[in-house]
Amino acid sequence: MKTYLFSSAVILIGSGIVSLTQTSKLPALSKVNKQVNEQFGFVPSGLVKLDADTVSVQSFLVSKTEVTNLDYRLFLKDLIATGEHEKYAVAKIDSFNWLKGKH
């Protein structure tokens, strides 16, 4: 009997803690969602005509405003810091291409 009561008490306390932590996270998540919706626009998936090819594009978010050079450098630095070297290789600035066709 004592074991049953103890187990019931632990379950009730545990579920109370879980519900408290979940509700305390909801306002923060709501705040993040609000900021994302204010700062980014949603682009739905679809097909895009690229030269002679039709390419399928997944949905993505795009910034509603320009990105500063500093913001982009911080983004690149974060890719390196988190070990996402393949994404960094795609996103890194290739200033040599800026000179093509300008001669």
Per-residue pLDDT of the chain (103 residues; tens, 9 = 90+): 443 433 333 343 444 444 444 545 667 888 888 888 899 999 999 999 988 899 999 999 998 999 899 999 999 999 999 999 999 999 998 877 777 765 5
Q: Dihedral through CA 40, CA 42, CA 45, CA 51, nearest 10?
A: -60
Alpha-carbon distances, residue 8 vs 3, 4, 15, 17, 18 (angstroms): 8, 6, 11, 14, 15
Q: What is the pTM of this model?
A: 0.45
Q: How many CA atoms lie within 13 A of 91 on its CB side?
A: 14
Backbone angles phi, psi at 28, to 5 degrees: -65, -40
